[in-house]
Amino acid sequence: MAVLPEHDHCKFCGDAVPFDQAYCSEKCYWEDQAGLRAKKKNNVLFAVFTVASVAVTAAVGVMLR
């Protein structure tokens, strides 16, 4: 069985990288950053939608009393 040198894996694509690196290339870094921004945007939109839904439901409940 071959012994692999100590290494880590790229956060984006999973390729082997030295321990002191998080990404194997700048391309992987920027693509990962774009994905993180998209996830953050989706989380904010979900939170806004949820708060708006609760507010509308509460307003309708008050109006139907």
Q: What is the pLDDT of residues 46-63, one digit of tens each?
A: 999 999 999 999 999 999
8-state DSSP, 3 = P
Per-residue model confidence as pLDDT tens digits over 5-59: 889 999 999 999 998 999 999 999 999 999 999 999 999 999 999 999 999 999 9
Is 7 within 8 Å of 13 (Cβ atoms)?
no
What is the Cα–Cα distance from 26 to 13, expressed in whole angstroms?
12
pTM for the full model? 0.73
